[in-house]
Amino acid sequence: MSPLGERLRAQIARTGPIGVDTFFASAMGDAEHGYYATRNPLGRGGDFITAPEISQVFGELIGAWCVAVWRALGAPDPIRLVELGPGHGTLLADLWRGTAAVAPEFIAAVRLHLVEISAPLRACQQDALSTLVPQGAVVWHESLSEVPDGPLLLVANEFFDALPIRQFVAEGGVWRERRVGLSADGKELAFVTGSEGDLGEDFAPFEGEIVERCPAGEALAAEIAGRIAHCGGCALIIDYGHTRSATGETLQAASGHRRADPLMRPGEADLSHHVDFTRLRIAAQEAGAVVSGPIAQGLFLGRLGIAERGEALAGAAATPAVGEAVRGAVRRLVHPGRMGVLFKAMAIAHPASPDVPGFAAAMQAGR
């Protein structure tokens, strides 16, 4: 057991089981032993790899998307460019490099706001941007609520999957909240069922079935939508997950690029879940914004021109092997069997805004 696991075990022995969301938040966010305080999760030496780390094309295309949306908004100056959970800062660095030459007026208008709780990752982000972005043009925040008002472009790649979830399990004809308690011998953390939980009418309690909810994600989608409805702008959320709400457990732990037991070593493995895009969409719509998608990442990147950009980059590569690596990275991002379908893109926009680039021909989910 990890140091945090020992502490949680003692606490649970004293005061009883805790919610899965409380466990999740503590495993990731504990100030002393939590994953974010102690680890740099990304890349080959870390626990998982994300799209911006796979190819520079990803950040470049998101940059092109930002410029197109900004122009469609009437080129507001200043524009707040917010990234939630920027990881190593790779997406922003590629976005900046890709747009600086072709849209200097956009770069001149941008004020960067990075929402990040991990101190090691803030340091990485600072490094990645130090030679690109003038000092003073970038500010870090603990949460979106700290970002000043004004028109905004917001990007969140693999952020919502990292927010804590609650779990409910069907037992004896009702939904009960699943909690983290102790095994019979008291030595390990173990899932236990708690009191009855109100899940609305969404799913019949089929014995043993699990339903997950992410209240923090829904509240955040509503907060983003409220800001955009009020101040104008557009948000792009990319993550793995499902278009329609479903039952089934998706809580997962990753350690050293392998699946791990989520309860085994809290604080030392990355925890995540599959995003329920339907519930995010409803939360955003109820807060007064319009939602496009979700659509498959492969389709979205295809519409932004990933094939052409990938070929140009591969063609300019120093050696044929490097060119092949570029093509392989692009395939990984868009192929249906890799990240192309499991990952989805969804946009939140002002009700009066024109079609969002990349989504124009997409059917609205739910129709």
Residue at shortest CB range from ligand SAH: 85
Q: Taking CB under 6 A as the rule, which mask of x and - marks residues 140-179 in contact with ligand SAH?
A: -----------------xxx--x-----------------
The answer to whether the CB of 273 falls within 8 A of the CB of 252 is yes
**Three-state DSSP state, 230:** helix
- Angstrom CA distances, 297 to 77, 95, 130, 226, stand at 30, 18, 30, 25
Q: Which of 55, 56, 99, 118 binds ligand SAH (CB under 6 A)?
A: 118
Q: How far is the CB of 142 from ligand SAH (least distance, A)?
A: 7
Q: How far is the CB of 346 from ligand SAH (least distance, A)?
A: 15
Phi/psi of residue 274, nearest 5 degrees: -80, 135
21 binds ligand SAH (CB under 6 A): no
Cβ closer to ligand SAH: 36 or 300?
36
Cβ closer to ligand SAH: 53 or 268?
53
Q: How far is the CB of 123 from ligand SAH (least distance, A)?
A: 12
Structure tokens at 348: 């939140």
Residue type, 15: T
Q: How far is the CB of 89 from ligand SAH (least distance, A)?
A: 9
Quick one: how far is CA 178 from the chain centroid?
Answer: 24
Q: How far is the CB of 88 from ligand SAH (least distance, A)?
A: 6
Q: Which of 17, 46, 85, 197 binds ligand SAH (CB under 6 A)?
A: 85
**Three-state DSSP state, 140:** strand
Q: Which 249-308 residues touch ligand SAH, going by CB under 6 A?
A: none
Number of residues located near ligand SAH, criterion CB under 6 A: 18
Residue 83: count of CB within 10 angstroms of its CB: 23
Q: Which 32-51 residues touch ligand SAH, going by CB under 6 A?
A: 36, 42, 50-51
Cβ closer to ligand SAH: 121 or 214?
121
Q: Contacts by 73-76 with C-beta closer than 8 Å and gap 24+?
A: 73/151, 73/232, 73/233, 73/234, 73/353, 75/105, 75/106, 75/109, 76/109, 76/150, 76/151, 76/232
Q: Which of 5, 19, 87, 294 binds ligand SAH (CB under 6 A)?
A: 87
- Token pair 């140009």: residue: 312
Q: Which of 52, 98, 262, 340 binds ligand SAH (CB under 6 A)?
A: 52
86 binds ligand SAH (CB under 6 A): yes
Q: How far is the CB of 6 from ligand SAH (least distance, A)?
A: 24
56 binds ligand SAH (CB under 6 A): no
Classify residue 31 as exposed, middle or buried by CB count within 10 Å of its CB (0-12, 13-18, 19+): exposed
Q: Which of 8, 20, 93, 115 binds ligand SAH (CB under 6 A)?
A: 115
117 binds ligand SAH (CB under 6 A): yes
Strand ranges (E), the chain:
18-19, 79-84, 110-115, 138-141, 152-157, 166-171, 174-182, 189-196, 210-213, 233-242, 252-255, 258-260, 270-272, 275-276, 290-296, 343-349
Residues 6 or more apart whose Cβ sits within 8 Å of residue 11: 18
Residue ranges binding ligand SAH (CB under 6 A): 36, 42, 50-53, 85-87, 115-118, 121, 157-159, 162
